[in-house]
Structure 1
């Protein structure tokens, strides 16, 4: 199965379209989940990274990351992504340095200007959230602080709007493209070009990353209830966040999408681990 979107007029970001694939899973510790066993299993399945969302009511990402690093050997760990308006640049830099040390350098420090619900979290913490311009400035200061303290830390920046995409291109090692779940490949490619153009102007290269909303030929009920996602809607829009078909078909789709969009780093929720693992095996080193 492949997307029905017409890609004939889409141009890929030229410097990343043949980058080797990387695969990550996103998970959050919760009661009843053996986090250490999950970390070991994610590594055994061949994934490159295990990443943790930032949520005020859950286990802090860097704590979960440190635990994962302690029981694995090659798995990269990191937050996906830290809401920087809720922390000082020095605080984030200190956490990044500690995680870098404890993990033996296996860190992907995900940073962003805050999710839509981060404003409510800022209010709960009694700190100002700031305007979009202020939050972008704070994010850039945070990236600078992280790199100054621990230059070897790899920085991921999540971005969606043009200004954020350009900032990410100038400063990040990996850019997580915050496209709508219904965005087609042409839209993802457009976002990727903003990033890679900004990176080229700064004399840098970046890896483009996206997060899959659904993997396989059916969608869990909770995704339909929470996000309104259905197979029919995703197919109708040619959604690049949907990866249907057999493992071989999924692998073919990802290779084609890489050529179109430049995206070589693919993440998904941890509940897709078993469905995505055969694809990881097929595309390792490619």
Structure 2
């Protein structure tokens, strides 16, 4: 089954920036979702999402993704339920077992980060708590390793593939196969998502600084997380990649909104 394309933007509200204006622009440009990173030292994702929902009518909002080892499952479920209510049901609530730097945040909060197995168990308990309190909330699970990919396939509505910026189409296809194997009979109901490392001719500054990414390195690696060329070229690339990988939900940083918007116009819902 071919799943229609959806598109999202990932953004943080910065001090002094027009967050309401950003949310409205995301909707006006035709994107399907506005997603907010979970960062201990930034505006809490649930608050930013509630604010964005209040000034928009169509787009989904949600954290991308909550580091569940830092939080009690019941409190996460309460946040999801509140956001579901305030947004009129327009929620994609992202959950994960914690990115690598979340361990430092755990120390700052005075909580145990746990072993990989413990974090996976805590994530599953959090998913259960959210489902029990608000059964129709759409849940995204971010996953990279085989066990997490299989868990996402088994329990999530969307699995965000935590691929390296240098991942090839074959790499993404292997990750997708693991998700589908974990999903079993519900494989057709699980949407696969990828967050692009770059669109057009600019590498996001934070990636360039953190990982030393350049356009030349991305092109040389033949990465499948980078889109370049005209809007028609980019649309054709996404369509070609959808068949072997099953990826139909494409996200990018908000700095790529204008570059990706023409592609959204060509492919959204197709």
Q: Same fold (TM over 0.5)?
A: yes
Partner of 1:107: 91
Q: For 2:189, what is the secondary structure of its paired residue?
A: coil
Q: Name which of 118, 131, 146 aligns with 1:147.
A: 131
Q: Is residue 134 from structure 1 mapped to residue 122 from structure 2 by the alignment?
A: no
Q: Which residues in structure 2 correspond to 1:46-195 (within 5 Å)?
A: 46-195=30-179
Alpha-carbon distance between aligned partners in 2 of 1:139 and 1:149, rounded to the nearest angstrom: 16
Is 1:28 paired with 2:38? no
Give the whole-Å Cα distance in 1 for the aligned partners of 2:150 and 2:103. 23
Q: Determine the structure 1 residue equivalent to 2:245.
A: 261
Distance 1:184 1:98, change over 3 A: same
Counterpart position of 1:247: 231
**How do residues 208-223 of structure 1 correspond to structure 2 at under 5 angstroms?**
208-223=192-207
Q: CA deviation at 1:226?
A: 2.2
RCO (CA 8 Å, sep 6+): is it higher in 1 or 2?
Answer: 1
**How far apart are residue 125 of structure 1 and its match?**
0.6
1:225-260 deviation digits (Å, cap 9, x = unpaired): 322211221112110110000001000000001112
**What secondary structure sits across from 1:36 in the alignment?**
helix
Give the stretch that moved more between structures: 64-73 or 199-208. Answer: 199-208
Following superposition, the deviation at residue 204 of structure 1 comes to 6.4
Q: 1:252 to 1:105 in 2, by over 3 A?
A: same
Output the CA distance in 1 between the equivalents of 2:102 and 2:14: 20
1:207 to 184, 187, 191: 191
Distance 1:222 1:120, change over 3 A: closer
Using the size of structure 2 for normalisation, the TM-score is 0.97
What is the match of residue 10 of structure 1? Answer: none
For residues 20-41 of structure 1, what are the alpha-carbon distances to aligned partners after superposition, in whole Å with 9 as ceiling and x for unaligned? Answer: 0000000001112100010001
Kindly report structure 1 stretches of 4+ aligned residues shifted beyond 4 Å.
Answer: 201-204
Cα offset, 1:201, TM superposition? 4.9
Equivalent pair of 1:52/1:64 in contact (CA under 8 Å): yes
Measure how far apart 1:222 and its partner are: 4.7
SS in 1 for 2:90: coil
Call closer, same or farther: CA 1:271–1:141 in 2, change over 3 Å.
same
Structure 2: 5+ residue stretches without partners:
none
Q: RMSD in angstroms over aligned alpha carbons?
A: 1.2
Report the counterpart of residue 274 of structure 1 in structure 2: 258
CA contact (8 A) 1:22 1:264 kept: yes
Q: Cα offset for 1:203?
A: 6.8
8 Å CA contact 1:196, 1:205 repeated in 2: no
1:230 aligns with 2:214: yes
Give the alignment's TM-score, normalised by structure 1: 0.92
